[in-house]
Amino acid sequence: MILKIRQVGESVLRQPSRPLTVEEIHSRYLGELIESMRETMRDAPGVGLAAPQIGIPLQLAVIEDPPGAVQRLSPEEAAARGRRPVPFHVVINPVLTIPEGTAVEFFEGCLSLTGYTAIVPRAARVHVDGLNERAEAVSIDAEGWYARILQHEIDHLNGVLFIDRMNSRSFMTQENHLRFWKDKFIPEVKRALSLEEPG
């Protein structure tokens, strides 16, 4: 079932979500919810969807970056983003650890801010501990675009949106991003939008 994706301004997107119990994870309800979230994410289409985005404040997210989405990028774009296919999986009650290292900046969008994008700094590498849909412990070490997806979805579980982390001067419609900036490197965009001093 395709679910309605909540948009910015709805309070559920700004509340911390509660953890799931093992009993809840094993319930029929959760299995059906995960399947509906998978269908909704693919229909949107997106590479991640957190339960608050469909109005349910639970520590649950689904993630998938399919090969077709990656193949739509040029090899140079995919390499710059560190983007490789990520199979469908579920993350429940995730705990994010960000090791020391430099942040990387790219344009980022959100299914709950339809039609908008901005440059968002994110850690290049992350570690996540949590549970899968069978309540089994999972440990994820991710880098590149996968690390960005995990940070974005876990932010949703804590009531945080990309607009809270973005460079505000880079905020724009996706239409204008495609029209003016899609093929530009981030340093060039930042200079043009006066986001940094010329070096």
Active site (catalytic) residues = 153
User: Cα–Cα distance between 73 and 19 in angstroms, integer?
Assistant: 36
Contacts with 173 (C-beta within 8 Å, 6 or more apart), sequence order: 115, 116, 117
The token pair at 145 is 């675009």
From the number of C-beta atoms within 10 Å of its C-beta (0-12, 13-18, 19+), residue 66 rates as: middle
The token pair at 24 is 């809840």
User: Cα–Cα distance between 32 and 19 in angstroms, integer?
Assistant: 18
- Length reported for the chain: 199
